[in-house]
Structure 1
Amino acid sequence: MAKPGCLIVVDTFRSAVILHLADQNDVNEVAAKLGIDRQRVTRCLRRVIAVGPLEALDDLPRSGRRPDITEAARTWLIGEACVKAKERGYPHELWTLRLLAVHTREHGPAAGHACLAELAPSTVHDVLNSQPVKPHKMRYYLQRRDPNFEMRKAEVLEVYAAAEMLREIPEADRPVAVLSYDEKPGIQAIATTAPDLPPKPGKYATMHRDHEYKRLGTVTLSAAVDLVSGFVHHVVTERHRSREFIAFLERLDAHYPAGMLICLLLDNHSAHCSRETKRFLASKPGRFELVFTPTHASWLNYVEIFFSKVARSVLRRIRVTSKVELVERIRRYIEMCNAAPTLPRWRYGINTEPKALAA
């Protein structure tokens, strides 16, 4: 194969010849001006006449060596990659390039593809990339299991639309409080077993931490974001049962003025629709309205965005000396959020699906 530098020289030579020929110079004049023999100019001229000036700048295609792997073998290999490895008798859930190469070498010739007898993992990679097929990767999706998804989604979107309209009403005159509620269970309190080492110029640029750690237990963060004001109501508990949910509802009942409807957007957790919860709601007629998101559609609940922010800003890589410290640091963070609340802005479907809002 020619070196890149050689290709550049050839292209420059051909370009010069073609330009001089375009200026109506004959073959002898071009050869004299460029200091080359007449035969080279003639060959370039024939190439221009045959394929055109642009194509003449490149080398003509050559036959080359025939591919070692036939198209039928490639198709067979790609078909095997699209089948789970466990369905071929392996303990692996997904293929690896090395495992697929071994499988192909063992079973390819028996399937009528002798060219696969010495297949290498790198060749497997090239064949799969031609599609492309990546059997070593997994991408998750969510199947809609709620038959009433569209109707319940429309109810959720109406909640966000109502929150937008309530912002235009003075706070004292608002008849409804609209909140997005959920729990974030299993927040781990993890302690270090050795002190963290701060960055040192010339030695290491990042914070250093020992790999060992100690588990101190878990807590649950329950939070409700006021979709009108952005204020975050929260409580941190050991568990998230019906009694904890009812206690949270009592906190909301005490916070908002009497006679105001409290509309709560939440998921379908068993504690939200248990007998104890229904009994409490029946004791407060006209006080609470619960709007449930569709099954397996927690992404429609704004509070999940808040939890994501908490996880990225505070809980990621957090180390504490006790669960008490963990609770205190979560509390301080939410106080910071409430000191400068961010007004929730939900855009999915509100402007793009007006029919759902009118349903």
Structure 2
Amino acid sequence: MRTACDIVLTDTERSTLQRWSRGRSTPIRVVLRSRLVLLAAQGLMNKDIATAVGTSRQSVGLWRSRFAAQRLAGIEQDAPRGGRRPTRRDQVARLILERTTQTVPCNATHWSVRTLGTALGISPTMVHRVWKAHGLKPHLSRTFKLSNDPSFVEKLLDIVGLYLNPPEHALVLCADEKSQIQALDRTQPGLPLKKGRCGTYTHDYKRNGTTTLFAALELAEGRLIGSCMPRHRHQEWITFLTRIDTQTPADLDLHLIIDNYATHKHPAVQRWLQRHPRFHMHFTPTASSWLNLIERWFRELTDKRIRRGTFHSEQHLIQAIMDYMTEHNQHPKSFAWTAKAETILAKVARARAVLDKSASA
């Protein structure tokens, strides 16, 4: 009588199998195999495992033996399959790749499997398989922007230096405005989150005014200084700088990382800064808002408090923003900058080389 091989797991193997068996992004075939191996390690018979996971006894025996012989690699990767080599696909794969990456259709911005298949006289399935094998997804795109600031390198080194090696007896603050925040009220109540259904809200809305948030993130501790104002002119910026001046220790220099918005360089602002010599302004390069860590906090504010919020008035919106900021300051946490200037400059140089090559082609 044939008996199934015993399965004994190491701590590492058990931890990995448990993670795979619960993984929401793990392929379903790997989830199934992980579950049956875990049950086999408990001493269950193949027929009982088959009943528990909803598969056949033969499949349980196959993957039990595969794991015993190859361990984790045996169930994570499929064995090479038999069948005839796809000669037709090999013949047209190069042509598919050239058309996909170097041309566009006549009246569209990118190819689809059907339009490219029609143009080449092949099936859409073949196009899809070649794209999948080479990681091509023409329907997806993302935006980018390389700074053309002539002082890009100097400004980058200055700001990254503040992040990685802040000066002594000084505070580094990342400051900016988040303008035109809309107080949106939905036309109907949304449906709450429930099992099997995400929360909902109506696509249409009523505008109840706007506000502008002025905020500064103190780099060392993550404390926020902020206020909402109806406009974002140089007068409001000076008011905000005055707030920073009064809410920080008077014996410390203040290094502010800000962008190149004209308000920040207004003559009245320059005169105010001359009267307050402890303020030192550090401007990010143009088109480089990613260098200012306050933008990262603005994103959290938008995602967690504003985007799906319902605000019946402008004051309701302002109160929600200030409450969120107050809660943050009760348990302040900053963002750790880890990228070195050399790494960033090398990445920018590679991107610029690709752009120059594309422009000359």
Matched residue, 1:231: 223
TM-score by length of 2: 0.64
Q: Aligned match of 1:300 in 270, 291, 296?
A: 291
Percent identity between matched residues is 30
Distance 1:275 1:61 in 2: 76
CA-CA distance at 1:143 after TM superposition: 2.2
For the structure 1 residues 123 and 254, does the alpha-carbon distance in structure 2 shift closer, same or farther, using more than 3 Å as the test?
Answer: same
Distance 1:312 1:181 in 2: 19
CA-CA distance at 1:350 after TM superposition: 8.4
CA-CA distance at 1:98 after TM superposition: 2.3
Distance 1:124 1:139 in 2: 23
Distance 1:127 1:263 in 2: 53
Q: Alignment RMSD, CA only?
A: 3.7
The count of aligned residue pairs is 275
Distance 1:59 1:155 in 2: 54
Matched residue, 2:87: 67
For the structure 1 residues 264 and 213, does the alpha-carbon distance in structure 2 shift closer, same or farther, using more than 3 Å as the test?
Answer: same
For the structure 1 residues 199 and 317, does the alpha-carbon distance in structure 2 shift closer, same or farther, using more than 3 Å as the test?
Answer: closer
Matched residue, 1:78: 97
Matched residue, 1:311: 302
Q: Does 1:89 align with 2:118?
A: no
Matched residue, 2:3: none
For the structure 1 residues 218 and 94, does the alpha-carbon distance in structure 2 shift closer, same or farther, using more than 3 Å as the test?
Answer: farther
Distance 2:200 2:141 in 1: 32
The CA deviation string for residues 172-223 of structure 1, in whole angstroms up to 9 with x for no partner, is: xx4x33211112223222101122344578xx76544344322334322211
Q: Aligned match of 1:323 in 314, 329, 339?
A: 314
Are the aligned partners of 1:161 and 1:350 in contact in 2 as well (CA < 8 Å)?
A: no
CA-CA distance at 1:285 after TM superposition: 4.8
Distance 1:93 1:236 in 2: 42
The CA deviation string for residues 95-127 of structure 1, in whole angstroms up to 9 with x for no partner, is: 22223233x1xxx4xxxxxxx2xx222222122
Alignment of 1:239-258 (within 5 A): 239-258=231-250
Matched residue, 2:133: 130
Matched residue, 1:111: none
Q: Does 1:346 align with 2:337?
A: yes
Matched residue, 1:280: 272
Q: Aligned match of 1:98 in 109, 114, 125?
A: 114
Matched residue, 2:163: 160
CA-CA distance at 1:248 after TM superposition: 1.0
Are the aligned partners of 2:156 and 2:341 in contact in 1 as well (CA < 8 Å)?
A: no
Q: Does 1:151 align with 2:154?
A: yes
CA-CA distance at 1:306 after TM superposition: 1.6
Distance 1:70 1:280 in 2: 70
Distance 2:211 2:80 in 1: 69
Distance 2:147 2:256 in 1: 23
CA-CA distance at 1:343 after TM superposition: 4.4
Distance 1:191 1:246 in 2: 32
* Stretches of structure 1 lacking an aligned partner (at least 5 in a row): 12-57, 109-115, 167-173, 354-359
What is the one-letter code of the residue matched to 1:123? Answer: M
Q: Aligned match of 1:196 in 190, 196, 199?
A: 190
- Larger mean CA deviation between 314-323 and 294-303 belongs to 294-303
Are the aligned partners of 1:218 and 1:323 in contact in 2 as well (CA < 8 Å)?
A: yes
Are the aligned partners of 2:192 and 2:198 in contact in 1 as well (CA < 8 Å)?
A: yes
Q: Equivalent residue of 1:130, what SS?
A: helix
Are the aligned partners of 2:183 and 2:208 in contact in 1 as well (CA < 8 Å)?
A: yes
Matched residue, 1:44: none
Matched residue, 1:184: 178
For the structure 1 residues 320 and 225, does the alpha-carbon distance in structure 2 shift closer, same or farther, using more than 3 Å as the test?
Answer: same
Larger Rg: 1
TM-score by length of 1: 0.65
The CA deviation string for residues 291-337 of structure 1, in whole angstroms up to 9 with x for no partner, is: 11223222222212221221222123111111210110000110111
What is the one-letter code of the residue matched to 1:329? Answer: A
Distance 2:172 2:185 in 1: 38
Are the aligned partners of 1:94 and 1:137 in contact in 2 as well (CA < 8 Å)?
A: no
Distance 1:99 1:59 in 2: 32
- Larger mean CA deviation between 225-234 and 210-219 belongs to 210-219
For the structure 1 residues 271 and 134, does the alpha-carbon distance in structure 2 shift closer, same or farther, using more than 3 Å as the test?
Answer: same
Are the aligned partners of 1:84 and 1:93 in contact in 2 as well (CA < 8 Å)?
A: no
Are the aligned partners of 2:174 and 2:258 in contact in 1 as well (CA < 8 Å)?
A: yes
Matched residue, 2:211: 219
4+ long deviations beyond 6 Å: 58-62, 350-353
